[in-house]
Amino acid sequence: MADWPRPFAHLAARHAPCHPVLMNILIVGSGGREHAIAAKLRRDDPGATIYVAPGNPGTEGPGQNVPLAASDLAGLADFAAEKSVDVTVVGPEQPLADGIAEAFGARGLPLFGPSRDAARLESSKVFSKRMMRDCGVPTAGFEVFTDFDRAADFVSGIEPPIVVKASGLAAGKGAIVAESVDEAHDALRAMLVEERFGDAGREVVVEEFMPGEELSVFFLCDGENAVPLVPSRDHKRRFEGDRGPNTGGMGAYAPVADGTADLVERARLEVADPILQGMAERGFPYRGFLYAGLMLTPEGPKVVEFNVRLGDPEAQVVLPLMGASLAEPLAAVARGESLAGWEAEPLAGSALVTVVVSGSYPGSYPKGLPMEVPSDLHGEHVHVYHAGTARKDGQLVTAGGRVLGVTGLGDDLEGAARRSREVAARIRFEGAAWRSDIGHSEIGASSD
């Protein structure tokens, strides 16, 4: 594994599990990412009280589910006040874009997550690209359009592939890599004329295509400091060999061979730090998780996009490899304190998550299918995270396209992959499917 820096001695002592913090924690969200956050926080602080709103059947283990929607900002704030919650952690992007930080801040309630203005790094690709340009962050060249004819004329003069992105939040499906000008025209028409993406597609970004491998780097940010977590790589395509339509993610693994400590430090200096400085100068300091999706181009790392939260399924491999306590830095940032001197202390070994999906996902799929998940699947080296599940009359059933994430841990990536796939094969429901080649390029390279 890369030679990562260790935390300062006095901070390392604070991370020891024999000194529980006994916090009251509220996690907002209902997916695999939120299950992974709850499980990590439970490992950090066995005595903590952890609430998850609304949660899922998996989060009932490490936490207590609360019947409040992630969109119910007032109800969530009332609950946090009633339960004297020490820190609220926001999983998905929509509540952040809707202003949950402002709703909590107005009542003096500590929350880990960026403000509505800062969350525009994800909720508006136009804002994000302009911030990168103004802050000198390396990224693809781009133009912005609201008129179909002007956009169509522009892409007609570009050599494919051409990247077309809806500016707003589009559930991870608003970025299209067009292999021809005609495909680019179709994407633009879908967004600007047919309004298939709703408000998210009223403004469109057209980018130059960047060749290279993608790398996911997550930072914990306090408005001034950005502390990296172990880098990861996810597989978006539905079918093996990275073919087929894009999805929310079919699997991920960490660490990544080309995600060296030097490269991550370069990303901090050239990407995270300039963005944090630029946001602070504009009056909305960035506090929360910051995802930098990097393309490792021949010219160096360039930003594909920012997200303002942990990724899903990347969280399911990044958090199990985090040795330091997560609860304390989240609470510190929520209180307005500094992360200076803190390190994430990555653990040795590898993690790989295989996502079990339903039916013809990402197309239409049924819900409410009975599931068989053997009770002995979860163990020291395997974690099963619920993403799209529910309970109906006491029976576990499917409730989404991405149903479960099976994370295997091992001394190396091959061992982690073997454990993940063996357990994924034991999960049963009608139409269950998963990719058996997550991490294929790296596993193949390491075995040559």
* pLDDT, the chain, mean: 91
The 3-class SS string of 154-179 reads HHHCCCCCEEEEECCCCCCCCEEEEC
Query: Using 50, 70 and 90 to split pLDDT, how confident is the model at 233?
Result: very high
Domains of the chain in sequence order: 9-117 (3.40.50.20), 141-208 (3.30.1490.20)
pTM over 0.85: yes
- When mean pLDDT is compared across 11-15, 25-29, 296-300, the lowest value belongs to 11-15
pLDDT over 90 at 8, yes or no: no
Which secondary-structure segment (H or E) carries 384? Answer: strand 382-386
pLDDT for 12 beyond 60: no
Tell whether the model's pLDDT for residue 10 goes beyond 80.
no
Distance, CA of 62 to CA of 59 (rounded, Å): 6
Average the pLDDT over each of 51-65, 373-387, 415-429 and give the range with the smallest value: 373-387
pLDDT of residue 362: 92
Asked whether the predicted pLDDT for residue 247 surpasses 80, the reply is yes
Question: For residue 378, what pLDDT is reported?
Answer: 78
Q: What is the pLDDT of residues 50-93, one digit of tens each?
A: 999 999 999 999 999 999 999 999 999 999 999 999 999 999 99
Is residue 171 predicted with pLDDT exceeding 90?
no
The answer to whether 139 touches 180, Cβ cutoff 8 Å, is: no
Band of pLDDT at residue 322, cut at 50, 70 and 90: very high
Q: Please state the separation of Cα 148 from the chain's center in Å.
A: 31
Helix axes 273-281, 125-135, angle to 10 degrees: 100
The mean pLDDT value for 395-408 works out to 97
**Tokens matching residue 396:** 């576990």
Residue 352 pLDDT > 90? yes
Please check the confidence at residue 16 and state whether its pLDDT lies above 60.
no
Residue range 399-413: average pLDDT? 97
* Residue 85 phi, psi (nearest 5): -70, 130
| Least confident stretch, 16-20, 84-88, 154-158, 210-214 | 16-20
- Spatial distance between the Cα atoms of 275 and 268, rounded to a whole number of angstroms: 10
Cross-strand partners of 372:
428
Q: What is the rounded end-to-end Cα distance, in angstroms, of the chain?
A: 18
